[in-house]
Structure 1
Amino acid sequence: PKVSYKETITRSAKVQGKFKRQSGGRGQYGDVWIEISPLEKGQGFEFVDKIFGGAIPRNYIPSVEKGVRQACLEGAVAGYPIEDIRVTLCDGSYHEVDSSDMAFQIAGAMALRKAMMAAFPVLLEPIMEAQVVIPEEHLGAISGDINARRGRIMGMEVKGKMQTVKVEVPQAEMFTYASDLRSLTGGRGSYTMHFSHYDQVPHKAASVIINQYQATKKHEEEEA
């Protein structure tokens, strides 16, 4: 099972993305300066054009945005979509002959990936809200198990000899929960679960995910 992680940033950063290639005839040239900054959770993506004085011709601005948006879909840190960022196009340069839509798309994507690494990126993970119904005598075991899954107990409710425990747990920790709950309660426990919100992955867990992605990416590049 795959977890729908997301990437975002915690600081602002201003970087240059410059794509320049010369091979025989006509070359390729695109040069952009962007600033990225974090948005409030759930705000998605904003692109702001602050080019003035013709630093980049107007017809290339959509190409820069297209490159930035494509890079956001592909991710920069661990291959997951980037969300809740504002990208401001603030400067750049062009070449009368060698500049093209494609060159500015590539420059925009290069700048976005570079900016992400400079803006203290973090991974976000889906947090699930679950209601676990168990016999009262299993409360200690269930509480310990939820803690081990990086979960939090949000509340409890007693109904006769049964306890309903309300918890929030990362989705990544819940894939084996049905069978584990049966084992812990002798088959007498049940639960329901739905998506609640996204939250930051702790540094240690995030490092494992990022390192796995980087290793896979390096292997694929060597195979190509």
Structure 2
Amino acid sequence: MILTEQEKSIRTEFRKYLREVEGQKGIWLNALIKAAEENLPALIKQHIREDFHCLFDNVYSIEELISISSKLKNDEEILAAFQGHISSKAIDAYIRFYASKYNIDLKTINVTNKNNKQVSLEEENLQVEGRLTEVRILRHQRNRIARQKCLEASNYTCYVCGFNFEKTYGEIGKGFMEVHHKTPLSEYDEEHEIPQSELCALCSNCHSMVHRNKEVLDVDELRRIFLSSKK
């Protein structure tokens, strides 16, 4: 992505805001930055608006950014996609940065909800969370349990390369590992619950590799490639 000098300046301010104002550091800071600069724009282009450039383009109003954030949070397919959850966190962090930079009180922002009614941002967030909880809570909880079982069964160790964040980084890496869906969620129908066998614990590098090309690479094939490279 090619940035203008102004966009580079805003990017630098955002990184500084994350470190100095929100106190982000280490792996989480790097994950937020990577999501904001790489994964989030790709998800927005794919699922929300094809003409999206980058977060640091000041053509987007705070209302537009909030609308994008709401759509991300209200779509389980996007959240479950590669880096989907961290991308939703990244855009929310950028909205807080934007509000701080331009002295905007987020409580005064009104948005249009799914019923075409103007409500406060706080009210809409509560309504979105309520709808997700009421309509999808059973499936969401079962999928979350399946995800946790996958991590525990793997001992938070990557299936492909054997990497373990806690063994490498100590306490800060404890309990950290990504979960890969062997079958893309887009191939499931609306009410499908994710079976345990469809989940696989992967480190960030290996997860990136299986999604490197348009067609998702089979985890066993990636493991074969990895092991053959070590011979």
Compute the TM-score of the two structures, normalised by the length of structure 2.
0.24
* Structure index of larger Rg: 1
Q: Which of structures 1 and 2 has the larger relative contact order (alpha carbons within 8 angstroms, sep 6+)? A: 1
Structure with a larger share of its residues in strand = 1
Structure with a larger share of its residues in helix = 2
